[in-house]
Amino acid sequence: MPQLIPFLKKDEIAEMVAAVAQRLSSDYKDSEFVVIGVLKGAFMFVSDLVRGLTIPVEVDFVRVSSYGDAASSSGTIRMTKELELDIKGKDVLIVEDIIDTGLTLDYIVNYVKSFSPKSVRICALLDKRERRMSDVPVDYACCIVEKGFLVGYGLDYAEKYRNLPEIYDLKF
């Protein structure tokens, strides 16, 4: 059985999310702000993040599949749920649970840009640097991580652990 090593506690997560929500509320004041969450991993983060905003926002989700049940990227990315909102001329924030190689995000940024938004920025709960392969800019990162495989608070390993309210480092 893999071991769950505590990494971020509930109140540490809440504090980081509230701080980013506050920055966003000021940076996107007076703009047509759209948050696009990346399913499934970002579902919990998006729900806490938008509740922390003090500005109007529209929320949508996309879903891409790339990982299967493995702990490292398979390298092939597929859009399995398309964007539904009209984002033309709007200020878009893509919200991800964790960025590893950056390949998923590269794909999503290009997809989102094809709908002619006014701007596109990226917000990640966890910015994992060790295996980055693209130079996609992470504009808002709650927490920088060097390595490891993290689960909980929406993040899974083979679809397990998403429901945990805290974040753990999974030791295989």
Q: List contacts with ligand IMP (CB under 6 A).
A: 38, 41, 66-67, 73, 96-105, 128, 149-151, 155
Binding mask 17-46 vs Mg ion (x if CB under 5 A, - otherwise)? ------------------------x-----
Say which entry of Mg ion, ligand IMP, none residue 73 contacts (CB below 5 to 8 A, set by partner kind): ligand IMP
Establish whether 100 is a catalytic residue: yes
CB of 41 to Mg ion, least distance (A): 5
Structure tokens at 18: 């509230």
Q: Which among 14, 20, 97, 10 has a CA at the least distance from the CA of 61?
A: 97
Of 48, 97, 100, 127, which residue is the catalytic one?
100
Beta carbon nearer to Mg ion, 28 or 45: 45
Contact predicate 95/48, CB 8 Å:
no
Please list the active-site residues. Answer: 100
